[in-house]
Homo-oligomer: A and B are copies of this chain.
Amino acid sequence: MPNFRFDDAVPVLERTPATLRTLLKDLPDSWILATEGPNTWSPFDVVGHLIHADRADWMPRVEHLLTHGDAVPFPPFDREAMFTASQGRSLSELLDEFAQLRADSLQRLAALHLTPADLSRPGRHPKFGVVTLGQLLSTWVAHDLGHLTQISRVMAKQYTDAVGPWREFLSVLK
């Protein structure tokens, strides 16, 4: 699948909030707050990060690119904003908020009536310069899937010692 296609990508973006809800809702805090060690993120942290990314990154950058092309760089994105934004909130609240934000994001995307020809339209990333709309949208999808990978890996690693000699056979623990 070398090229971005809306018919591939949108179904994945649509499913992420429900997938995370199904995996995480009402699990004990021993899973939700688990990390891979100091300065790594828990499932709770990741959900907060995804919320902030939908709010401040994905559709805002799509709209910025369509307005400014590559003349004005995207505003920078704070990938750790959730450490303050999620404070005092429950995972259930965060999952609800993410579902609502993602539905809104995909409505805004659909309303743009973008075509395959639009995917080559240029924008400017503050760090690495000219990018295309297709690259931005592909990154949205890979970012969702990367963080689902992270959450399930963080959870698996909680049993690194508990599995005993099976550790050698479970590549996720390495």
Q: How far is the CA of A19 from the CA of B20 in the complex (A)?
A: 8
Among A158, A159, A173: residue with most chain B CB under 10 A? A159
Is A153 in contact with B162, judged by CB distance below 8 angstroms?
A: no
Q: Does A81 contact B (CB under 8 A)?
A: no
Q: Does A8 contact B (CB under 8 A)?
A: yes
Q: How far is the CA of A153 from the CA of B136 in the complex (A)?
A: 19
Interface residues on A, range: 35 or more
Contact of A1 among B30, B125, B148 (CB under 8 A): B30
Q: How far is the CA of A160 from the CA of B18 in the complex (A)?
A: 24
Selected A-B contacts with CB under 8 Å, 21 pairs: A1-B162, A2-B162, A3-B162, A4-B162, A5-B30, A11-B27, A19-B22, A19-B23, A128-B168, A134-B162, A135-B164, A138-B162, A138-B163, A138-B166, A142-B170, A142-B173, A148-B148, A148-B152, A149-B149, A149-B172, A150-B172
Residues of A within 8 A of B (CB): 1-5, 7-8, 11-12, 15, 18-19, 22-23, 26-28, 30-31, 34, 125, 128-129, 131-132, 134-136, 138-139, 141-143, 145-146, 148-150, 152-153, 155-156, 158-166, 168, 170-173
